[in-house]
Amino acid sequence: AQSVSQHNHHVILSEAASLELGCNYSYGGTVNLFWYVQYPGQHLQLLLKYFSGDPLVKGIKGFEAEFIKSKFSFNLRKPSVQWSDTAEYFCAVNKTGTASKLTFGTGTRLQVTL
């Protein structure tokens, strides 16, 4: 069965600090990988996705993630966070080559202070 682990449950950073949120997955096959963000009071929005090719993917708002197959990881990074990045971040996977169900991690709440 698929599973996703997000080790950081709550992260507090000052503005301009660098961000790295961990995501590890377990799945008996190749996967599509996603990071979704949920701003307070808003719906889930896609930050970035990996299907194949270059393991370093760039998303919206300056976010990027690197797929490391040997580590089953897809960590999210941003060099300099802004107060507006305060949100909950979810890593998700599904079976590669399909639009099958997403399996989500538990989420990481990011709080950026001024």
Interface residues toward other proteins, by CB under 8 A: 32, 34, 36, 42-46, 49, 51, 90, 92, 94, 97-107
CB 80, min distance to other proteins, A: 26
Segment 28-32 long-range contacts (CB within 8 Å, at least 24 positions apart): 29/95, 29/96, 30/95, 30/96, 30/97, 31/2, 31/93, 31/94, 31/95, 31/96, 32/93, 32/94, 32/95, 32/96, 32/97, 32/98
CB 34, min distance to other proteins, A: 8
Q: 36 vs 78, which CB is nearer to other proteins? A: 36
